Homo-oligomer: A and B are copies of this chain.
Amino acid sequence: MVIDVSVSLPRGLTLKNPVIAASGTFGFGPEYSRYVDIGALGGVSVKGVSPEPWLGNPTPRVWETPLGLLNSIGLQNPGMDVFLQEDLPFLRDQNAVVIVNIIGHTVDEYAQVAARMNHEPGVAALEVNISCPNIKEGGMSFGQDPDQAYAVMKAVRQVTDLPVMVKLSPNVTYPGLIAQAVEAAGADMISAINTLVGLAIDIKHRRPALGGVTGGLSGPAIKPVALRVVYEVAQSVNIPIIGMGGIATATDVLEFLLAGAQAVMVGTVTFQYPKRMNEIIEALPQVLHEYGFASVRDAVGQALPGRAPIRGGGQ
């Protein structure tokens, strides 16, 4: 059994396997390096990076919900200059495929970070985060309007040759429309989904539990929503999709592949099980084989309409 798990993406971006650490759950790499074999990952998407440092939101910043996690970090980050000087070198030294998640309050700020990252050795791709629910201006609102999403991507495209993915918000009526807008603006890929906007109540103190009031919901609870968005977007655009949302096992990865994703990102589960991404990567060939696939590529989109479904016994 030789199962090819490599992934070929636009502009020559290749991953040795489809499992990427999700932005914001893996810092800039060194923290988890004690537990995770970073070199074995398909890639690492770093915490969102802005032109200037951002302070983030008041605490509490995380709250547990039924099989979900609400977070309201607020994109705290040291700014792009400090990132390049102090943080990027570590991941570059690990030979990680580094995806820089970029954020801004304005179209121009997105373009600034994109321009700054261009030709930086060690930066393999950009992920334009127009979907973070945890900041007041910018952030998600860009991802909730096709025109604004287009504008951000267009500006980024003008300043970089890097492969660029746009990260979609599930908090919109028609994710497929946003995907089409950024495809038209030159996006090479889509990543989806960012977190769902949620709220928890701290009954004792009679107030929203998070310092930032609402937060972003991640974890297994959102997996069905994530699969739906991937499935819809896969039918709306012709560019590859990196799927995520609640992935915790190698069979979860296969579900995302079948729904139309070419690769995946893994976030919240890492907090419970730091080594889980490595375990998934080890298990994936076996799981693919078991369900009759000879490669990751083979599985991509097989549950989309128009592929002959394999109907079997049972019901």
Knowing A59-B315, A224-B65 touch, does A303 contact B255 (C-beta < 8 A)? no
A310 to B302, alpha carbons, bound, how many Å? 53
User: Which of A80-88, A109-117, A214-222 contacts its partner?
Assistant: A214-222
User: Which of A10-18, A150-158, A199-207 contacts its partner?
Assistant: A199-207
| Those of A164-203 within 8 Å (CB) of chain B | 171-173, 196-203
Q: Assess the A203–B258 pair: CB atoms within 8 A.
A: yes
Q: Which residues of B contact A315 (CB under 8 A)?
A: 59-60
Q: Assess the A225–B203 pair: CB atoms within 8 A.
A: no
Q: Which residues of B contact A254 (CB under 8 A)?
A: 203
Q: Assess the A228–B206 pair: CB atoms within 8 A.
A: no
A66 to B231, alpha carbons, bound, how many Å? 19
Closest B residue to A220 by beta carbon equals: B66
Q: Does A123 contact B (CB under 8 A)?
A: no
Q: Does A124 contact B (CB under 8 A)?
A: no
A204 to B205, alpha carbons, bound, how many Å? 47
Q: Assess the B217–A224 pair: CB atoms within 8 A.
A: yes
Q: Which residues of B contact A70 (CB under 8 A)?
A: 224
Q: Does A267 contact B (CB under 8 A)?
A: no
A225 to B225, alpha carbons, bound, how many Å? 12
Interface centre among A59, A217, A307 (most CB of B within 10 A): A217
Interface centre among A67, A172, A228 (most CB of B within 10 A): A228
Q: Which residues of B contact A255 (CB under 8 A)?
A: 200-201, 203
Q: Assess the A199–B231 pair: CB atoms within 8 A.
A: yes
Q: Which residues of B contact A302 (CB under 8 A)?
A: 206
Knowing A227-B200, A258-B203, A259-B199 touch, does A208 contact B68 (C-beta < 8 A)? no
Q: Closest 3 A-B residue pairs measured CB to CB?
A: A198-B224, A66-B220, A221-B221
15 more contacts with CB within 8 A, not counting A66-B246, A197-B228, are: A66-B219, A67-B67, A67-B68, A172-B173, A173-B173, A196-B224, A197-B225, A198-B225, A201-B303, A204-B310, A205-B312, A206-B291, A206-B302, A206-B309, A208-B303
